[in-house]
Amino acid sequence: MRIGTGYDVHRLVAGRPLVLGGITIPFEKGLLGHSDADVLVHAACDALLGAAGLADIGHHFPDSDARYKNIYSIELLRRTYELVRERGYLLINMDATVFAQAPKLAPHREAMQQTMARAMQVSADRINIKATTTEGLGEVGAGEGMAAMCVALIGKQ
């Protein structure tokens, strides 16, 4: 078995949809990035790549590449998990935390887990997503951005 971690941060801006865990969540702002800026899925990709010893998301899907402009990050997760599978590994489980002052993410938790699981064609009970505020502290607390961390455990097929 091998373990990997992922961490990501994106800025929140007006005029962008908020996409988290592959779900579009009603909110006054969205995350800014080259792709859809799905901070949770990016952290999940990095955790998987780290576990498999395959560098990081920027290595495989560089934000300088026009092919990834506004890409739905769930597609990056699908491709990332393909790379993991090619190395002979399967996801055992993944646990992630999203740091966001608002909106409330609990109502979307199951849909995010199911969407991410579907991208990897694994059972949704292998994915756990949590959310927390930072009690108003720091940039996340001020609503300037969101962060996510993820740990993934993979094992030989």
- Nearer of residues 71 and 90 to Mg ion, judged by Cβ: 71
The residue of the chain with the least Cβ separation from Mg ion equals 42
Rounded to the nearest whole angstrom, what is the least distance from the CB of residue 88 to Mg ion in the complex?
27
- Nearer of residues 56 and 95 to Mg ion, judged by Cβ: 56
Residues 35 and 68 sit within 8 Å (Cβ to Cβ): yes
Rounded to the nearest whole angstrom, what is the least distance from the CB of residue 67 to Mg ion in the complex?
16
Rounded to the nearest whole angstrom, what is the least distance from the CB of residue 77 to Mg ion in the complex?
12
- Nearer of residues 64 and 157 to Mg ion, judged by Cβ: 64
Is residue 127 classed as helix, strand or coil in its secondary structure? strand
Q: Give contact residues for Mg ion (rule: CB under 5 A).
A: 8, 42
Residues 63 and 44 sit within 8 Å (Cβ to Cβ): no
- Residue 1, classified by CB atoms within 10 Å of its CB into exposed (0-12), middle (13-18) or buried (19+), is exposed
In whole angstroms, give the CA distance from residue 102 to residue 58.
27
